[in-house]
């Protein structure tokens, strides 16, 4: 058996998330179907982490084992020909039998994009959350340092979860601004929240973003982030931000 590792990207708009579920169209289902169409094998695709319904991936990492002797350099083209247009394999390599895309992941990075211009950008409308009024970026940035390091992130985890240990380590949390540089040059049209850690709880990034947006709107002080973190109570944090703004950005091994 060979163990193959791929970098894939997907537009999650049309899918019920990564993980296979009955009567649902999922990324995992489409990948396993493509492998079956190519090799006749039923494989189990392992990802670095599941993404929710509507969440995208720029460079998700997956692996599966196969008996196929197709040379590794032909796999991406062969899979892409059997995948829908919104799922694309970019790189393929043969790895040691012990490699496991989730267990071996050292650092995952997500990006949440908020468009803050008055009107949506038609070309990115499926990949960013539209907040039609400006946000206080400095206040949002002040709320970020307390998140770095090892913490119990219970407050930023949906109550619908089976994970008992809620301790994770964040390595980086930063907010970047972008301008369209076009219709109103100089104005901030888009915020990108990049967050890296050793792992993320269910809805963790989206609940952080929901809280950050309330801070940016002036509905809460920046200091609320630390207060919420320490309380270990989901009810104190902000709402779960819309899935379409979230993209799994990259995974380091």
Q: Kindly name the residue from 25, 52, 86, 180 that is annotated as catalytic.
A: 52
Strand extents, DSSP E, the chain: 2-10, 46-47, 56-66, 87-95, 107-115, 129-130, 149-152, 167-178, 190-197, 246-252
**SS3 state at 173:** strand
Stretch that binds a copy of itself, among 8-16, 26-34, 166-174, 231-239 (CB under 8 A): 8-16
**SS3 state at 198:** coil
Residue 90 binding a copy of itself, by CB under 8 A: yes
* Binding test (CB under 8 A) with a copy of itself, winner from 1, 42, 69, 85: 85
CB of 245 to a copy of itself, least distance (A): 13
Q: How many CA atoms lie within 13 A of 148 on its CB side?
A: 10
Site for a copy of itself in 188-227 (CB under 8 A): none
52 in catalytic set: yes
All residues at 6 or more sequence positions from 96 whose CB lies less than 8 Å from its CB, including other chains? 3
Stretch that binds a copy of itself, among 78-86, 141-149, 165-173, 225-233 (CB under 8 A): 78-86
**Site size for a copy of itself (CB under 8 A):** 28
Of the pair 126, 158, the CB lying nearest a copy of itself is at 126
* Binding test (CB under 8 A) with a copy of itself, winner from 4, 46, 55, 76: 76
Token output for 183:
């219709």
Query: How far is the C-alpha of 223 from the C-alpha of 142, rounded, in Å?
Result: 8
Residue 7 binding a copy of itself, by CB under 8 A: yes
All residues at 6 or more sequence positions from 183 whose CB lies less than 8 Å from its CB, including other chains? 117
What residues are labeled active site?
A: 52
Contacts with a copy of itself, residue ranges (CB under 8 A) = 7, 9-11, 56, 58-59, 76, 80, 85-91, 118-125, 127, 182-183, 250
């Amino acid at each position: 058996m060979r163990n193959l590792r791929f970098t894939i990207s997907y537009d999650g708009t049309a899918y019920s998330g990564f993980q296979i579920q009955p009567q649902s169209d999922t990324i995992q289902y489409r990948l396993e179907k493509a492998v079956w169409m190519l090799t006749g094998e039923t494989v189990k695709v392992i990802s670095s982490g599941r993404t929710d319904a509507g969440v995208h991936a720029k460079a998700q990492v997956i692996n599966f084992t196969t008996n196929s002797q197709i040379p590794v350099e032909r796999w991406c083209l062969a899979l892409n020909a059997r995948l829908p247009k919104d799922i694309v394999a970019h790189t393929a390599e043969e790895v040691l039998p012990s490699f496991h895309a989730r267990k071996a992941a050292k650092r995952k990075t997500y990006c949440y994009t908020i468009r803050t211009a008055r009107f949506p950008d038609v070309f990115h409308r499926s990949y960013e959350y539209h907040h039609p009024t400006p946000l206080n970026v400095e206040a949002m940035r002040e709320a970020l340092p307390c998140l770095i390091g090892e913490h119990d992130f219970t407050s930023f985890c949906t109550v619908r979860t089976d994970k008992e240990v809620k301790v994770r380590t964040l390595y980086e949390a930063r907010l970047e601004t972008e301008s369209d540089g076009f219709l109103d040059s100089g104005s901030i049209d888009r915020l990108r929240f990049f967050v890296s850690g050793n792992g993320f709880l269910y809805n963790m990034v989206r609940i952080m973003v929901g809280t950050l947006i309330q801070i940016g709107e002036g509905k809460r002080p920046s200091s609320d982030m630390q207060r919420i973190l320490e309380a270990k109570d989901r009810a104190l944090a902000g709402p779960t931000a819309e899935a379409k703004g979230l993209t799994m950005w990259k995974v380091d091994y």
